[in-house]
Chains A and B, each alone.
Chain A
């Protein structure tokens, strides 16, 4: 059973989100990383790119498949995780930590996120 930290928000597309000082930090869940298998390449948006909630903004390639990264919020990308460019395996080993993917400046708190409980139910 995958880890689902209780202090994060989640999307049905298996992203997690935290929000502080107008910036949402986004990554993919441990469950998603397990389903993908070994991540070999993560294509992230450029800093400054405008992203929309529910729209794809990047790609995650693993040995067996590729899946899209969806932005959970509307806003502007203010930072991307350079470390996962060099070591995409961080998505597998530290999905909720150093394997985070993008930070998005957004107006107001993200809406429509699943709670940890709801997300755990989704992947059960």
Chain B
């Protein structure tokens, strides 16, 4: 393995004394202080994240909408300029290659944001699938830093730094804006279950933007937040993580995300036949939420038991700062069977109750 890559905000993280970790080939902040405090700050005030590891891929050209309709499971040609969509890219068997957010910047201009770990796979698949389309697929990861400001105080904080009409910027939309004097693509998206914005900026603007956001928000309780907090935030919000809930071994239907597969869109798309069949026959396993009754925490890979018999596996688990109990997502053979559920936590069954996802939903 080569040395992990620093992000454009590396010096900032070092200055803040962050615990750094190798994440998908990038040197990323795991936490700055207490990850629980960072989690709570995002739930109650605001947190500032460096997400510069995410992969940005530009899809451009007259046939860019058609290409994305063919390459992805969503109906991206229907997206209006300025809006964004959560979608997935699957293989021909319907297995998930990655989950994505696609921003339509303009009629013939899209920005596809992929997970760092899958960036190369997504870039290769899009490039291959672009054959015969009047469209270009270009990796832009090195040209973008990505900062996320998440939490209920986000709008107030950001308003001090921009004239952009924040109230008009709906969830899952984006707008070119100037923040603290720097041009950014300002997107109302996130992965925390809170209101918030993601700021795509030029790498050399990342540091001054971080500083400006920190200065504007510190009085409101804004603190920097790392990947550890990001993981517990997304888990509470019931959002899947590739490599945990999503993989090539499952289709979107298993992950309760069949809604992203637009079987009614015109034309063929990669995975259509397999996904149509899976929609017909039903998912082979079901993703459920579990809340532990005790304090020992179900972790990724632990077995789920129904009346003492193995019936599934935990995909993500953590102590939930908001609920004060262990929470987990797990794939089980069938969700509706009766019986007492438990998770085998290192040889001892820990009783757990099935709950509807998400574990946490913000008040609107």
Contacts and interface: CB of A to CB of B under 8 A. Distances in A.
Nearest to B34: A38
Interface in A16-47: 34, 37-38, 40-41, 43
Contact of B319 (A43, A59, A63, A92): A63
B297 interface: yes
Contacts of A64: 30, 35, 228, 231, 318
B318 A66 contact: no
Interface size class of A (residues with CB under 8 A): 10 to 19
A38 B297 contact: no
A37 B227 CA distance: 12
A24 to B, nearest CB: 26
B222 to A, nearest CB: 20
A37 B228 contact: yes
Given A37-B228, A40-B319, A92 B34 contact: yes
B160 interface: no
Interface in B1-49: 19, 30-31, 34-36
Interface string B288-318: 0000000111010000000000000000001
Contact of B297 (A34, A41, A92): A41
A40 to B, nearest CB: 4
Given A34-B19, A38-B34, A92-B34, A63 B318 contact: yes
B173 interface: no
Interface centre among B34, B299, B319 (most CB of A within 10 A): B319
Contact of A66 (B19, B34, B35, B297): B297
B192 interface: no
Interface string B270-299: 000000000000000000000000011101
Contact of A61 (B19, B228, B319, B321): B319
Contact of B296 (A34, A59, A63): A59
A2 B318 CA distance: 26
B297 A37 contact: no
B52 interface: no
Nearest to A41: B295
Interface centre among A38, A61, A65 (most CB of B within 10 A): A38
What's the dominant secondary structure at chain B's contact region? mixed
Contacts of A34: 19
B232 interface: yes
Nearest to B33: A38
A64 to B, nearest CB: 6
A82 to B, nearest CB: 15
A100 B319 CA distance: 22
A74 B345 CA distance: 27
B34 A40 contact: no
Nearest to B31: A37
Contacts of A66: 297, 299, 346
Contacts of B228: 37, 63-64
Contacts of A92: 34
Interface in B200-237: 228, 231-232
A59 B294 CA distance: 14
Interface centre among A40, A59, A65, A66 (most CB of B within 10 A): A40
B31 A41 contact: no
Nearest to A64: B228
Interface string B327-351: 0000000000000000000100000
Contact of A40 (B19, B30, B297, B299): B297
Given A61-B297, A66-B299, A38 B19 contact: no
Nearest to A40: B319
Given A37-B228, A38-B35, A43-B296, 15 more contacts: A37-B30, A37-B31, A37-B34, A38-B34, A40-B36, A40-B319, A41-B295, A41-B296, A59-B346, A63-B35, A63-B36, A63-B232, A63-B321, A64-B231, A66-B299
10 contacts: A37-B30, A40-B295, A40-B319, A43-B295, A59-B346, A61-B295, A61-B297, A63-B35, A64-B35, A92-B34
